[in-house]
Amino acid sequence: MTHHFDNEQKVSILVSGLEERYKSIHAIRERIQNICVWALGLMLAASGWLIQSDVEFSPCQKLLYIVGVVVAFWALRFNFLDDLYKGFQKQQQVAVRLEKALGLFTPKTFDDEESSLYPKEWENAGSNNGSGRFFASTYLLLYIGVAVLILAILLHEGGHTFHQMHYFPYFVR
């Protein structure tokens, strides 16, 4: 069964679909950013605590902690975030198709300008030819956090100047 819509109905449907895609893109992007900021914060906090603590680790314990960090990072980056990235790309691809249908990439659709309302580069959103670097820069922050934490584990000698009595005098008796 085919539906016959007039132009006004078609535009309304396309605009509604595009609004939903934009909301989804924004939600996915915000979720990824929040997860990465929290993960980076936790890794840097753990690194800072480790550097100033007097806890000593054997080489076997260091190896175990490093393996744990790598496994947790792998699960976060290559499972969870990769799945969100794929959803993000699909949302972008659908948005581009809707934008094309609305004529946002076609010159002189809305005015007399020789160039389209949207830049031609935006047609590549959601593809491998896209120029957006949000994910690359976000992943780079995660890589830096993991590297700092692993270095803190490897270089930690223990026995530093952290004294529980000095920092927590009311909790130690």
Coil/strand/helix, residue 106: coil
Q: By the 8 A CB rule, do 75 and 12 touch?
A: no
Query: Nearest Cα to 70, choosing from 154, 149, 131?
Result: 149
Tokens of 44: 């840097």
Owning domain of residue 66 = 16-157
* Number of structural domains found in the chain: 1
Are 111 and 119 in contact by the 8 Å Cβ rule? The answer is: no
Structural domain contains residue 97: yes
Choose among 127, 129, 134: nearest CA to 32.
134
pTM: 0.79
In a domain, 6, yes or no: no
Q: Report d(CA 135, CA 36) in Å as an integer.
A: 10
Residue 5 lies in a domain: no
Q: Using one digit for the tens of pLDDT, what is the confidence trace for 3-58?
A: 788 889 989 999 999 999 999 999 999 999 999 999 999 999 999 999 888 888 88
Is residue 27, in this structure, part of any structural domain at all? yes
Kindly state whether residue 143 falls inside one of the protein's structural domains. yes
Q: Is residue 25 part of a domain?
A: yes
